[in-house]
Amino acid sequence: MNIRTIPREWLYTAIRVLSLSALIFASMLTVDYYMSANTFCHEGASCEVVAKSEFGQKYGIFLPTLGLVAYSFFFLTSFFFAKTRWKVFGKSTRTFWVPLAIICSALGALLFIIVQAIEIKAFCWLCMGIDTSAILMVIPAVLLMLGDKSDIPDRPRILHPLLWLAFYIGIVSGPISWGAYHPPVIDTSAATASAAEFQAQIDEKVPEFIRSKYVPGKVNVHEISSFGCPYCRKLHPQLTKLLAVYGDKINFVRTTLPIHMSVDACAAYYCAQKEGKGDQFAECMFEEPPQSAEGIVKHAQHCELPEKEFVACIQSEEAQKAVEADRIAVKECGFKGAPTVWIDAQTIVGFQDISVYKNAIELNPVVREASSGKTTDAADAPSVLTTTPILFGCFMALTALLAFAGIGAQCVSMKRKSIASTDADDVAKKDEAKIEEKG
């Protein structure tokens, strides 16, 4: 077969299959970066090495989102652009611009493979799954560019669009729902530990930097977050409400990092803490993350901090060094992503259901002794509906519905083709019979 005459429908089908392949890896990567660390990439594996590298710390947070957006675009637009005759700057969208976008994404994937090989010296298997799919997608993209540009009729579609959509929803939502539905396992062995045994677990499991902020006889909660992190902002009001239930039993410490936010934002929090208004300032920063230095000053004014002295403190060498020291110390603790919350000896990475944090708090002997073996009154604790199982069920139900609809539509389409083919054969036989009669 001449490559210029390969049906475009076949080539777009290849793009859809490879897009789905990339999407399933991007979806798993999303879980590990934004939700629950080490769900698909186990602790100490090469994926974690890539995530904790200098490159991963700076740019890794964008990769899962970029993967989901890019390959969702290629998948979904393949149905529209496969039929359209639109032209941009005189070039066809279906035979030039879309293939060109695919080739550019493949070049980016190749560049990231080189970075892993030369700079990081480790390969993330989830990233490699995305990159391999992207590079293979170049083949149908190039064939689309080289193919016959005439408006010859395409072959009939291989699968009904509803069936493709069912595959898409299932592949994208499956890993994400799995990661959200299975929160980090809390080590419940501490539930029966004595105060001395509980402290021994803390000494063994908790990094020195985190442990240095702990206060004996308290439930120690150390949060690593960023004012620019959407999941940190989402966690903040729920965690604040939960900690308020336990009152003075809690020793809460917050370390901020300049993730999606300037170093000055972290320095400002450091200065607000020195003035005894760290929590009030953090409340403003989480509620309305500033986009400029003026925004930080506005929050300082709201907290009644002296403006001139506050601005001078932010720019001071002391504040800047403190932020950098925290960044280095957190990185040495094996920081994976924000938010990360240490509750005594437990480490909770990513935004989790509030019950996960509550269960970790309840393990502390201080809380156990105060409640005399009873858990905190449910009426006092935050009322949080766990929506993940419901969303998971809805996604799966929608996927099943679309799959059944797609299969039904596919069967109807095949039946119609069969009938049309049979009718065509009958007409051909009648014509042959008439010709024979005339002969």
3-state SS of the chain? CCHHHCCHHHHHHHHHHHHHHHHHHHHHHHHHHHHCCCCCCCCCCHHHHHHHCHHHHHHHHHHHHHHHHHHHHHHHHHHHHCCCCCEECCEEHHHHHHHHHHHHHHHHHHHHHHHHHHHHCCCCHHHHHHHHHHHHCHHHHHHHHHCCCCCCCCCCCCCCHHHHHHHHHHHHHHHHHHHHHCCCCCCHHHHHCCHHHHHHHHHHHCCHHHHCCCCCCCEEEEEEECCCCHHHHHHHHHHHHHHHHHHHHEEEEEEECCCCCCHHHHHHHHHHHHCCCHHHHHHHHHHCCCCCHHHHHHHHHHCCCCHHHHHHHHHCHHHHHHHHHHHHHHHHCCCCCCCEEEECCEEEECCCCHHHHHHHHHCCHHHHHHHCCCCCCCCCCCCCCCCHHHHHHHHHHHHHHHHHHHHHHHHHHHHHHHHHHHHHHHHHHHHHHHHHHHC
Instruction: Give the residue, 369 or 95, on which the prediction is more confident.
Output: 369
pLDDT, mean over the chain:
79
- pLDDT confidence band for 385 (50 / 70 / 90): very low
Are residues 196 and 144 part of one domain? no
Instruction: Give the residue, 235 or 151, on which the prediction is more confident.
Output: 235
Residue 190, pLDDT above cutoff 70: yes
Q: Pick the last residue of a domain from 99, 132, 151.
A: 151
Are residues 355 and 261 part of one domain? yes
Asked if the structure places residue 391 within a domain, the reply is no
Are residues 356 and 221 part of one domain? yes
Are residues 231 and 141 part of one domain? no
C-beta of residue 130 within 8 angstroms of C-beta of residue 4: no
- pLDDT confidence band for 138 (50 / 70 / 90): very high
Asked if the structure places residue 226 within a domain, the reply is yes
CATH number of the domain that 38 lies in?
A: 1.20.1440.130
Are residues 77 and 195 part of one domain? no
Mean per-residue pLDDT, 78-98? 65
Structural domain boundaries enclosing 37: 3-151
Are residues 222 and 91 part of one domain? no
Q: Pick the last residue of a domain from 339, 354, 385.
A: 385
How many structural domains does the chain have? Answer: 2
Q: Pick the last residue of a domain from 151, 170, 199.
A: 151
Instruction: Give the residue, 391 or 251, on which the prediction is more confident.
Output: 251
Q: Which residues of 344-380 are buried (b: 16+ CB within 10 A; e: fewer)?
A: bbbbbbbbbbbebbbbbbbbbbbbbeeeeeeebeeee
Are residues 289 and 223 part of one domain? yes
Task: State what percent of residues in the chain have pLDDT above 70.
Answer: 70
Are residues 131 and 47 part of one domain? yes
Alpha-carbon gap, residue 55 to 58, rounded angstroms: 5
Alpha-carbon gap, residue 138 to 140, rounded angstroms: 6
- Range of lowest pLDDT (8-22, 76-90, 379-393): 379-393
Mean per-residue pLDDT, 205-227? 93
Asked if the structure places residue 94 within a domain, the reply is yes
Are residues 294 and 248 part of one domain? yes
- pLDDT confidence band for 246 (50 / 70 / 90): very high
Mean per-residue pLDDT, 321-326? 94
CATH number of the domain that 271 lies in?
A: 3.40.30.10
Are residues 146 and 197 part of one domain? no
Asked if the structure places residue 434 within a domain, the reply is no
Are residues 200 and 137 part of one domain? no
Which tens digits make up the pLDDT trace of 142-170? 888 886 555 444 555 667 777 788 888 88
Mean per-residue pLDDT, 236-255? 94
Task: State what percent of residues in the chain have pLDDT above 90.
Answer: 32
Burial status of residue 213 (CB atoms within 10 A of its CB: 0-12, 13-18, 19 or more): middle
Are residues 223 and 124 part of one domain? no
Alpha-carbon gap, residue 183 to 179, rounded angstroms: 7
pLDDT of residue 354: 87
pLDDT of residue 376: 43
- pLDDT confidence band for 35 (50 / 70 / 90): low
Asked if the structure places residue 390 within a domain, the reply is no
**Other CB atoms within 10 A of residue 233 CB:** 19
- pLDDT confidence band for 375 (50 / 70 / 90): very low
Instruction: Give the residue, 7 or 57, on which the prediction is more confident.
Output: 7
